[in-house]
Amino acid sequence: MTVTAKIDVKNQDISESIRKLLEDILKTEIIQAILVSQHLPMKKMVMPTLVTDPDHLDGIDPLAPAFPVNAATIAARLTRKPIGEKIAAVLRPCEIRAFIELVKLNQAKRGNIILISVDCPGAFQNKDYLKFAGQNPKEATLRFYKKVMDGNAVEVEGVELATACKACEYPVSENADIQIGLYGMKTDESILVKAQTEAGDHILKQINLSATNEPAARQTAINSLITKRSSFRDEMFLKTTETTNSLEKISSFFASCVNCYNCRVACPVCYCKECVFVTDAFNHDSFQYISWAKKKGIIKMPTDTLFYHLTRLTHMSTACVGCGQCSNACPNDIPIMELFRTIAHVTQKAFDYQAGKSIEQKPPLSIFCKDEFQEVVGIND
């Protein structure tokens, strides 16, 4: 039987309750390190940290509405090769889905990592978080969390959640070994801790926890949030489709792109070691630009911006998890996530596939399916 337990919350400080749980996990003989978001002294930002000493968990804040990097890439880096030790990683649901995709793409290993997920209330864009956090970021996290749990799932104190979060229909991870549950709980009293795999069960059985039953209100709260977010997502799809449904419109959509490639670097599932767009293939000779300009009388500089994004859409639409890091990284605030999620939704639906949902489900185009797209290939028995 898997462990379902509760952790008491004292002084309404959920972060402290989670910190104590992680401390207990790190003190077991099973886990040697924990990857978890923590406040750093530089600009009060929250960044992933790898902790081996329980005394260095004091600054953790996994509920902070900050999402500067999709830590799936870090978890993949830590597990790609055998390290002889087991680590735990506290990740958002979208980070776990990205990690699952990286496992299926042979960029990470699942066996030597314990995935821990906290119900995700969402996050702000980086610049918005720094304004919101002010001089007391931990206190700001408690304000944020209370507002979200009170039902304000779109904006807090005039600051809107990132669009990716408002459109995310996966607030709870299905692939975590250990799930820390908040929705549907009386979080001023206790939070839920639940093992979802045998590995997670083994960890929690090493810790002295109070057994409990998952309240019926939890699934009701989760379903309500998913309904709201799915509605926002579908409206976003319609709006984005209308904004980009012609060559002229999509060219306008990416008009301010400067080819910084930040979106590629920030994307957790864009894993190629060398991108074709940073090779000599796109290091054009000087005369080529003049030649192109002469044909039309004018060309946008830098060139190849639309080609770059269309190529990424082609490569990534089957693996996109909608985390929004592409938009978060864009210096010119191009709503890249909206377009990628819109295209990914169509692509993944066509293949009956959901990126990161199941480690057993093979990625599209990686296996041959005889009866797939009969209306296209025209193969008859």
Other Cβ atoms less than 10 A from the Cβ of 333: the count is 11
Q: Token pair of 103, please?
A: 């496992």
Encode 114-151: b = buried (16+ Cβ within 10 Å), e = exposed. Answer: bbbbbbbbbbbbeebbbebbeeebbebbbebbebbbee
Q: Which parts of the chain have pLDDT scores under 70?
A: 1, 42-43, 151-153, 367-381
The answer to whether the beta carbons of residues 15 and 62 sit under 8 Å apart is yes
| pTM for the model | 0.91
Helix (H, G, I), strand (E, B) or coil at 263: helix
Name, in order, each residue with C-beta under 8 angstroms of 288's C-beta and a sequence gap of 6 or more: none
Q: In the 8-state DSSP scheme, what is residue 37?
A: E
CA dihedral 298, 301, 302, 307 (to 10 degrees): -40
- Quick one: residue 117, left, alpha or beta (phi over 0 = left, psi -120 to 50 = alpha)? beta
Helix (H, G, I), strand (E, B) or coil at 319: coil
Query: Can you tell me the distance from the alpha carbon of 313 to that of 126, in angstroms, rounded to the nearest whole number?
Result: 24
Whole-number pLDDT of residue 269: 94
pLDDT, tens digit, 9 for 90 and up, residues 218-266 = 999 999 999 999 999 999 999 999 999 999 999 999 999 999 999 999 9
The answer to whether the beta carbons of residues 320 and 363 sit under 8 Å apart is no
- In 3D space, the residue among 161, 179, 153 whose CA is nearest the CA of residue 66 turns out to be 161
Whole-number pLDDT of residue 1: 54
- In 3D space, the residue among 273, 321, 324, 325 whose CA is nearest the CA of residue 69 turns out to be 325
Q: Token pair of 154, please?
A: 């779109």
Other Cβ atoms less than 10 A from the Cβ of 83: the count is 14
Q: Token pair of 110, please?
A: 């699942």
Whole-number pLDDT of residue 29: 87
